[in-house]
Chain A
C-alpha cells in the first residue's frame, strides 16, 4: 500500500552475532525505525524507510555492530 519515493538510507546493517541485546539502539532511535524482537531478543530493522541516518543507534551501540549506509544524493525536497 505504501509508496516510498526515495529513502534517506540505502541499508541499515546490524550484525546480530555481535549484538548483546542491550536495546540501546531501539531506545536511541527517534524515528521508530528499529523495533525489538521479543522472541529472538534482538533488534529488528522494522521501518528503514524512516531512517534519516542521525547515527544515534551507531553511537549508542556498545558492541559497534550497526552500520547505516546513507543514500547520497539525498532526497531533500526542493523548495524551488
Chain B
C-alpha cells in the first residue's frame, strides 16, 4: 500500500503558518506566548525574516495614540474611506488595539524611532484625524525571528506552498515544493494560518512578492471571499525613473503647469495619501487628451521629500537608495514625470473577528484578509487610504488569530491526509516541469498585467470593459495548462501566475456585480453610491468548479455610524 512518505517529505505540526513575513512571525510568537508547548511551523517561499513586503520601503506604523479619540477616527474612516462597507465592530477593535501593537514591538526587541530623551516619536498624521505615525527599523523581523526560534518555533524556508489539503470539510494542512531541491512537501497540520500576503500582480517594484498564493489556495479549497472588488489600489509614484516614494498629490501638474488636485478635487478635505479615485481618473484624462505627461512640482519652499527616522538600518537603506538614484538616475533639473501604477492589494479571504475563514481549521491574517475582514471597507488597505497600516494590520490580526488557532489545535482531532489526493496534487504541481507546451510564465504575467493594470479596466470601470477584461482572463485561463517551467524557480512563477489570474478574476467578477460606485470601486455606468441597494458585501465562493457570487447585507442597523440620508 502506497504511503505518504513515498511521495515526499511529510511533516506534522499543530499549527502551520504559511508565510514568514511580519504577520507569520507575529502569529508564531503570539501562539507560543499563548501556549509554549504548541508545535508551530513557519513555511516560507523565500527566507523567513526577510520575506514579504514589510521591510521594503517605509517602516511606518500608524496608530491611535493612548489619549486620542477612537470614535472621531472611526467616523472619519467609515464616512470618507470605508463608505459603510466596514465591519465597524472589527474596525473599532483594530483601532483600540493599535497602540498595544506598538508596545508589543518594543517587547519583541524592535527599534522604534525615539526622541533624544528616549520617548517614542509620535507624528500627527495630516491625512486623518486622531491618527499618528511612528517608525520601526527596517530589519524589524530579525529580532522577531530570533525570539520565535528561541521559543521553539520551527522554520522551513524556500518552500512554495501551493495547495491546502482537506479532510472532509476541514483544512488539515498543505502541500508544496522546495524551490531549490524540488522536493515535494506534505504538511499535516491541526490548524493552518495563511500569512502569505495579498496580490499586487508584480507591477510595483517592492510589491512583487505579493502574488496571492494563499488567497488562491483558500479559494480552491472552498473558502469564501469578500470585498474582492477592492483589490484595485492605485498610487502615484513621484520619481518615475525609480518607482519609489509617494508624496502629496496637491502638487501634481499637467504639461501646461495646471494644478490637477485643484482641477479634479475642488473643496476636498483630508482624503488619505493614496491617490483619490477622481484625481486618478483625472490624470488618465489629462494624458489621453494630450495634456500630459504629469509632473510632480512642489513649491520651491517645500521641504525635500523623505524623512529622518533616526533609525540606523532604515537610514542606511534610504541613503543607499538616494545614492543609486543620484548616480544612475535622471540628471538634476530634469522634470520628474509621475506614474500611477497599480498596487492591487487584492486581499479578499473572508474572515471573522478571530480571523477564522469559512473553512474549519483555516485562519487568514495580514494581507491575505485585509479586504476580506471588512475592517477597511471600500478600499484596499486598512484602515483606509493611509500609509502605515500594512505592518500594523499584519501584527494586530496575528494577535487575533493566534489564540484562536492555538486553542483549536490543542483540542482538534488528529489529522489524516489521503495518499491519493496528495499524489494528484503532486502531479498538478510539477506538471509545468514536464510540459511540452511553451507558455512562458513571463508571457502569462504580461497578459495578467494588461488586464489588471490599466485604469480603464480596474479603476474607471464599466460593464462593457469589465466583461472585456474577464474575456481576456478567460482566454488566459484556457492557456494555463500549457504553462512551461524551465526550472524550479520558474515552476514557482507558474504557480504565482495561477494565483494572480485567479485573484484578478475574483476582483473583476465582484466589480461587475457591484452596480454602483463606492470608494475605490468606480463604475462609469453607475457613478452614484446606492445605499438603498448596495449596503452589501459581495461574497465569492467556488461551487462545483464555478465562481459563485452572492451578497450579504451589512448589519448597518447595529453599527454606530450610519449613512446620512
Contacts and interface: CB of A to CB of B under 8 A. Distances in A.
A72 B328 contact: yes
A53 B324 contact: yes
B240 A79 contact: no
A55 B237 CA distance: 19
Contacts of A27: 47, 49-50, 157
B440 interface: yes
Interface in B294-348: 313, 316-317, 320-321, 324-325, 328-330, 339-342
Contacts of B204: 76
Interface residues of A, number: 35
B486 interface: yes
A72 B52 contact: no
Nearest to A67: B324
B284 A79 contact: yes
Contacts of A68: 324
Contacts, number: 120
A35 B340 CA distance: 33
Contacts of B205: 8, 52-54, 74, 76
Interface in B165-200: 179-180
A31 B209 CA distance: 7
Contact of B442 (A4, A31, A32, A58): A4
Nearest to B21: A30
B342 A79 contact: yes
B317 A55 contact: yes
A32 B208 CA distance: 12
B443 interface: yes
Contact of A31 (B208, B241, B339): B208
Contacts of A22: none
Contacts of A30: 46-47, 50-52, 56, 209
**SS class of chain A's interface: helix, strand, loop or mixed?**
loop
A76 B442 contact: no
Nearest to B234: A79
Nearest to A36: B180
B400 interface: no
A16 to B, nearest CB: 20
Q: Which of B180, B484, B492 has the most CB of A within 10 A?
A: B180
A78 B284 CA distance: 10
A5 B288 CA distance: 25
Interface in A15-70: 26-32, 35, 46-47, 50, 52-56, 58-59, 68-70
Nearest to A47: B489
Nearest to A4: B442
A70 B242 contact: yes
A32 B104 CA distance: 31
Contact of B241 (A52, A73, A77): A73
Nearest to A31: B208
Interface residues on B, range: 35 or more
Given A8-B205, A54-B56, A55-B324, A77 B341 contact: yes
B209 A76 contact: no
A3 B442 contact: yes
A2 B442 contact: yes
B440 A70 contact: no
Interface string B460-502: 0000000000000000000000001010011010000000000
Contact of B243 (A26, A28, A56, A74): A74
A70 B328 contact: yes
A63 to B, nearest CB: 15
Q: Which of A2, A68, A79 has the most CB of B within 10 A?
A: A79
B486 A2 contact: yes
A29 B325 CA distance: 20
A31 B207 CA distance: 11
B241 A72 contact: yes
Nearest to A46: B489
B314 to A, nearest CB: 10
Given A2-B442, A32-B492, A56-B50, 19 more contacts: A3-B443, A26-B47, A27-B49, A27-B157, A29-B46, A30-B51, A30-B56, A31-B209, A56-B56, A70-B324, A72-B241, A73-B240, A74-B243, A76-B203, A76-B205, A77-B449, A79-B341, A79-B454, A80-B292
Interface of A: 1-5, 8, 26-32, 35, 46-47, 50, 52-56, 58-59, 68-70, 72-74, 76-80
18 contacts: A1-B438, A2-B486, A3-B440, A8-B205, A30-B52, A30-B209, A55-B320, A56-B55, A73-B330, A74-B242, A76-B204, A76-B205, A76-B240, A77-B203, A77-B453, A79-B342, A79-B454, A80-B340
